[in-house]
Structure 1
């Protein structure tokens, strides 16, 4: 952010806050601090982001106020009933806080329900006035800031969207080049893992900017359906590219240029599609995009024909080759869809071109149900209960504000884990260094509305400008100013109010920190341990369901595998990415960062290869049932053996037991080769290709399991399992 933009944003914020206080004083509003707080927290870098956050805050305030009314109407005469009912509401809010894009809505819904109870304790008749006034003044603050933001130097998200997308495309091109180099050299570049992590973060950032662009960029709003298609296409392409990378590892012993004569040309086409996509994205800045006659060729499906010498290969190598070809076809399709969507966004093709892709989505989506989410959602309710008990039995200053602050900070930990003591220090310093001198010494000397509004403008402008360098320099001083000073027509000054507020925040944060320390299941190493075991148990269930059934039972088996994928397999990616960063490696010297990273990479590899096996098995089961049933005895025998390995891993049994299980792996491969040799010649080529794809993906899974077993042997699981405070 340039200095000019910092000054403009600070001016808009200061003007909005000054106008809001002028309006509230003129209209004699009771609680303008809540509208002012809404202005402070919704003042983001673009108009669309501010509008989205403001709408979510207003919606959450309304939902929370309604929930507060319902709870008070049912349990106002029952302290225990109120305690339990509010805890249930906080669990409900905490769960959906983790599953939706509208996190601010749910956060405010939880906060307002508790705030309505706290403000009306022993005065239930004031609850309606508090809730409706807070809702209306919050809406007024959001509306006023939106108008000012749109009229004065409006900043749309279009430029940020273009810049972030350009960076993402450059990263995608670089990653594809590294994977292509891996195909020729046989080794993975060291920077590939770091680049994958960076691209995952940039993708999430792009999605957040896209949400804002829908509100402040008419071009994005007009093509929302196409942008949503692009969101899906980017994710599908990234997943297809990772599946292709996994299949590369199995082809180290094959001369691919001889066996697949068109491989280099196909890879060149994929690279050209990425380059063309980057060009289309870059040209959006000028709104002048020249049609490229090569796009028609780039949108043509790739044809990969294996050389006749493939038939002379051992069956396993043929299976490995077929697996690589299958993954390349998936990558080809996803890249074509991605380029076609970009052409529609660039106005080179009509939106009707996407009709053929309208129903194409990921085969599996992470399930909305997750036990770890429920466990995490219990945390605000536990903090609420501890704060409630502390208030009842200790009766500190602040009274019912103690459980309210405990619940709010508990929700904050669920929404975005943070260093609460660091936050407390910032808030207390803001209160006593920035707010207290103005509140106690400067404001009492003002004798006119003009002087008061000028003070509000100058104070807000200074900290709004500093917020351009660090958001905490804006949020801390301004949030504490509007909440502590509480400017209204019945202004009063109380040093005790400052001290009491500081004490309430200190107690609320302390309760949350102690609860987090005492709740061992909330520790990152425990979450990692549960996630790994849940993943391995889910893998065992999936392998067990690779049974050969009648057509009716096949559908049931696919549904069971789909459920296992969505509940146990797919969530592991996001879970490991967040947990890995929060682990305290100093507490677990045996489990170094390098060992954990290797474990994470091995789990990701197994996840991808399970998806490959699922796709190949489903295709073979539906297109070549007779050939698959001819291998039923072999399937039953070895399916049970592989699932047994996963089950033992899920129980974290001793390493030597796992090694014994792997001593049979060579026998498995040999018997698979023998079975392939006995396949009758009367089956057509497509059936044999399907069978080879299944055996190739099975072999690929076994290789990934071998790497996972090696990485698991290096982890000291007992060290993570020990309870700690």
Structure 2
């Protein structure tokens, strides 16, 4: 039996058992136990347990909030609805930045279920909340036991396999970077970085699950988390190394860095030994320190910009050496081959930073909820009644936090599921006379839905199918049948999805191509702010507004590349180069590269400029900053500007002018001699400026390859 069939079998069995227990106990609404089974069933025990615990805790939180709302506003329906919508909005906001977004999602929609179904009756609210809690707990318990005893799948082995694959990919990325430093092409390194990020995302999810279902991983969870942080830091160091050498691929650094070959050999062996340790082997490897010499001196026949690139790359290679050593030692400690060392505490998250996307999600979900509530009050015989408001709230939370996914894509699967469930409800269920037949029906329908929608990309369709089947079936001990149940559900779905679609036009139009343009404008506006602020980075803003403004633009630079990438699959492929979804990838990569380059520039500028360089080169550096600011300002107004020839020509002119000025200042004796530390700081800063300029020219080149005309056309979509 395939893995897909086994998981569908387990979910069907758990659904049948949950209904049997709930009906045997005489509980009302056993469908809530069915909801719990369908929504917590995932691929591994750990993932299912984690989601189940979050669902249970979210339900408990929702019960408390529901009691508070009904106790404070027993007769004030407008104040009650205002408070409920504010709570749902708060939960939606917390979903965007929490490690446990599902907890906040459950807290929001279960609060709506309990408080709205209670009908402003406190005693009824207590009954509904208690029933919801006990049936949710029943569904979680039943599925947990089934997952434990029927074809159990632990996340630990898969997590270790992913860790091995990720470490192997890191070794390949290192070899690609070293090849680029030697004068090779940088394209292989860019391709491998995409694989690294995908594997890191998978590792994070599996590690959280493995901490739950694996005793060994749980006992060493601090070390495994340190491993994850080391891997992420190693990826970041390799990214910075790639930024440093970007545009200098033709420079043969082998004669200038004689230790490069031994460095590559040692780090490759170190990563290979780490892979062996993760695979359960004992390689007997002992890391040795590799000393990378300082970059070439003034007498070496390289330009100052080339020397700056090598200085920055050398610094990142030294950091890579340290991180790979720590990575090997961490895995060796996990294997009990080395004595445990104190693990540094992870950095704490910063305070509040304004995120427009999270507040946009709050505005949308509150708008949907109020539209549904007003329709419920003022439209007689609204299909679904209070269930309409509840369904809009539940799907609205998902739609607001996943704006890239069109909810209209679920309308057809929803109507098909309603039709199938309606046929079963009208023509099959009335013929059943015992739980033997009903249990077989429950198992068959659940198995079919889970089997047909087994792919992770079909998770929303699978969830909607299970919810609609369980809702329409309305199984209870005193079973009754009414065709209006099916008809109301069929009429309610277009209204729900239509309302959600209308809300996607307010307060901003969520068309994918327009969203990408909007995000690009914000990115370049924040980039311009960072360049303008270079002059006084060493000074802390004197007001709270100034500090929040700096934190906001820093957050924008770091987060917007991933937000742009998230919208990429939703863009019409006919608008992209090559008519493929990957046609926008080079542009997204250039935005991410510019983000990293500006971050590096800001960090190095904060260290300060050597005073001798400020006196000698201040005018040229100021002109460079002004040129960057003007380009970024124009891109903030229109990110579709693509004149690669002009950008490259300006870059060549600035580079040549500054190269000559540096030569006269440092070699000609116009500036006072620099100490070794000041010289290194200067070249690191020079490399950062060069990286920003090259990354900006790369974006302009990528933008010139796209036909932006359809992006600006008005159309209904």
| Match status 1:428 vs 2:420 | no
The 1:659/1:651 distance shift into structure 2, 3 A limit, reads: farther
Which runs of no fewer than 5 residues in structure 2 stay unpaired? none
Structure 2 distance, partners of 1:603, 1:8, is 43
Q: Which residue among 211, 214, 217 is the counterpart of 1:214? A: 211
Residue of structure 2 in register with 1:103 after alignment: 101
Asked if 2 retains the 8 angstrom alpha-carbon contact of 1:609 and 1:701, the reply is yes
Residue of structure 1 in register with 2:555 after alignment: 567
Residue of structure 2 in register with 1:529 after alignment: 517
Q: Which residue among 540, 546, 571 is the counterpart of 2:534? A: 546
Structure 2 distance, partners of 1:365, 1:618, is 19
Alignment of 1:440-589 (within 5 A): 440-453=426-439, 455-457=441-443, 459-460=445-446, 475=463, 478-516=466-504, 520-547=508-535, 563=551, 566-586=554-574
Asked if 2 retains the 8 angstrom alpha-carbon contact of 1:244 and 1:331, the reply is no
Which runs of no fewer than 5 residues in structure 1 stay unpaired? 284-288
Deviates more, 1:394-403 or 1:137-146: 394-403
Instruction: Spell out, residue by residue over 1:166-201, the C-alpha distance to the aligned partner (whole angstroms, 9 max, x if none).
Output: 332333333333333333454234x65444333322
The 1:719/1:430 distance shift into structure 2, 3 A limit, reads: closer
Asked if 2 retains the 8 angstrom alpha-carbon contact of 1:545 and 1:557, the reply is no
Instruction: Spell out, residue by residue over 1:200-228, the C-alpha distance to the aligned partner (whole angstroms, 9 max, x if none).
Output: 22221221111111110111111111111
Residue of structure 2 in register with 1:270 after alignment: 267
| Match status 1:370 vs 2:355 | yes
Distance apart, 1:94 and its partner CA: 1.9
The 1:24/1:597 distance shift into structure 2, 3 A limit, reads: closer
Alignment of 1:298-317 (within 5 A): 300-307=289-296, 310-317=299-306
Structure 2 distance, partners of 1:666, 1:296, is 43
Residue of structure 1 in register with 2:146 after alignment: 148
Instruction: Spell out, residue by residue over 1:296-344, the C-alpha distance to the aligned partner (whole angstroms, 9 max, x if none).
Output: 32xx254234455754544333223212222222322332232222222
SS in 2 for 1:547: helix
Structure 2 distance, partners of 1:315, 1:128, is 74
Asked if 2 retains the 8 angstrom alpha-carbon contact of 1:401 and 1:504, the reply is no
Distance apart, 1:42 and its partner CA: 1.0
Structure 1 distance, partners of 2:693, 2:109, is 49
Q: Which residue among 317, 326, 350 is the counterpart of 2:315? A: 326
Asked if 1 retains the 8 angstrom alpha-carbon contact of 2:73 and 2:80, the reply is yes
Instruction: Spell out, residue by residue over 1:566-585, the C-alpha distance to the aligned partner (whole angstroms, 9 max, x if none).
Output: 41211023112211121124
Alignment of 1:137-216 (within 5 A): 137-189=135-187, 192-216=189-213
Structure 2 distance, partners of 1:176, 1:420, is 42
Distance apart, 1:38 and its partner CA: 0.2
Residue of structure 1 in register with 2:373 after alignment: 388
Asked if 2 retains the 8 angstrom alpha-carbon contact of 1:547 and 1:635, the reply is no
The 1:349/1:173 distance shift into structure 2, 3 A limit, reads: same
SS in 1 for 2:535: coil
Deviates more, 1:646-655 or 1:194-203: 646-655
Instruction: Spell out, residue by residue over 1:53-87, the C-alpha distance to the aligned partner (whole angstroms, 9 max, x if none).
Output: 11111122222333333333344534433443333
Instruction: Spell out, residue by residue over 1:411-435, the C-alpha distance to the aligned partner (whole angstroms, 9 max, x if none).
Output: 12234454534433333323332x3
Asked if 1 retains the 8 angstrom alpha-carbon contact of 2:446 and 2:466, the reply is yes
The 1:557/1:668 distance shift into structure 2, 3 A limit, reads: farther
Q: Which residue among 695, 706, 714 is the counterpart of 2:697? A: 706
Structure 2 distance, partners of 1:111, 1:654, is 41
Asked if 1 retains the 8 angstrom alpha-carbon contact of 2:453 and 2:462, the reply is yes
Structure 2 distance, partners of 1:360, 1:102, is 18
Q: Which residue among 387, 395, 399 is the counterpart of 1:413? A: 399
Instruction: Spell out, residue by residue over 1:464-518, the C-alpha distance to the aligned partner (whole angstroms, 9 max, x if none).
Output: 5666578668655543333222332222222211221222223212211233256
Deviates more, 1:677-686 or 1:404-413: 677-686
CA RMSD of aligned residues (A): 3.6
Q: Which residue among 324, 339, 349 is the counterpart of 2:338? A: 349
Residue of structure 2 in register with 1:403 after alignment: 389
SS in 1 for 2:96: coil
Structure 2 distance, partners of 1:540, 1:625, is 25
| Match status 1:227 vs 2:221 | no
Asked if 2 retains the 8 angstrom alpha-carbon contact of 1:36 and 1:141, the reply is yes
Structure 2 distance, partners of 1:219, 1:653, is 51
Instruction: Spell out, residue by residue over 1:254-293, the C-alpha distance to the aligned partner (whole angstroms, 9 max, x if none).
Output: 331111111222122222222222222223xxxxx3252x
Residue of structure 1 in register with 2:55 after alignment: 57
Structure 2 distance, partners of 1:555, 1:251, is 41
Paired residues, number: 707
Asked if 2 retains the 8 angstrom alpha-carbon contact of 1:620 and 1:691, the reply is no
| Match status 1:678 vs 2:665 | yes
Asked if 1 retains the 8 angstrom alpha-carbon contact of 2:245 and 2:309, the reply is no
Distance apart, 1:597 and its partner CA: 3.2
Instruction: Spell out, residue by residue over 1:585-627, the C-alpha distance to the aligned partner (whole angstroms, 9 max, x if none).
Output: 4368999867733332221221122233234333455xx5666
SS in 1 for 2:28: coil
Deviates more, 1:420-429 or 1:397-406: 420-429
The 1:162/1:593 distance shift into structure 2, 3 A limit, reads: closer
Residue of structure 2 in register with 1:642 after alignment: 628
Instruction: Spell out, residue by residue over 1:98-122, the C-alpha distance to the aligned partner (whole angstroms, 9 max, x if none).
Output: 2223222122122112223431336
The higher relative CO (CA closer than 8 Å, separation ≥ 6) is in 1
Residue of structure 2 in register with 1:286 after alignment: none
Alignment of 1:18-33 (within 5 A): 18-33=16-31
